[in-house]
Structure 1
Amino acid sequence: MLGKYDYTPDSLKKIIKLAVISSISHKELVDWCEAFSQEASKDTNINVKRSLRKKAIMVALDIENQWELYLSNTYTLEELQNLEQREVKMPIQWLKEWDKNIE
């Protein structure tokens, strides 16, 4: 489903909104953000980087990092080994804040 979204700030906003309303899992959001960040870091074309906008890239990186912190601070190692990550939800307020931070 997320393959139809280009790596743009507008797409990031749309995907965050999908996660807020549970149309996609938070894990899917994180995976998309990882791909978005990788795309931004490997492209040397300055025009492409401008189109991805620095703020959106920073939001995507923050989503990735907060996911990892959330998992490690919420679950024990044993729980993490058996956890179905697609069922995990970060606080919705975080998603709403990330959405507001994208220009």
Structure 2
Amino acid sequence: MPFTREAAIQMLKWGAVPESSPYSHKAIAEWCDRFWCQYLEIDPEPEIEKLLPILTDVETQWDLYLANTYSIDELRAGDFEQVLIPTEWFNDWLRQAA
């Protein structure tokens, strides 16, 4: 997916309805992190700047969810492709992005 506002909104929509998503919540969180990293050293246009805290929150909440749900041994051994974070979080992020 390209790093655009439209793609970010689509990713959040897929996160809100994971059964119809081509991406896992893990993949969505990783994509959000890569998007955010594109703007570490440059000033984004306003529509992207508004999204960056949301994208950071997706990745951060993914990491926190894993850390609070799984043991250290499970974290070391798991791939987490099937793990779902609460879909309500994606709906909240969508509202923030509107």
Superposition TM-score tier, normalisation by shorter sequence = 0.7 to 0.9
Partners of 1:19 and 1:95 in 2: how far apart? 6
Tell which deviates more after alignment, 24-33 or 82-91: 82-91
Q: Which of the pair is proportionally richer in helix? A: 1
Cα contact 2:17–2:87 (8 A) shared by 1? no
Contiguous gaps of at least 5 residues in structure 2: none
Task: State the identity %.
Answer: 27
CA RMSD of aligned residues (A): 1.5
- TM (normalized to structure 1)? 0.82
Tell which deviates more after alignment, 53-62 or 17-26: 17-26
Alpha-carbon shift at residue 61 of structure 1 (Å): 0.4
- The residue number in structure 1 matching 2:26 is 27
- TM (normalized to structure 2)? 0.86
- The residue number in structure 1 matching 2:95 is 100
Cα contact 2:29–2:58 (8 A) shared by 1? yes
- State the number of aligned residues: 95
Structure 1 residue corresponding to 2:83, chosen from 54, 63, 88: 88
Contiguous gaps of at least 5 residues in structure 1: none
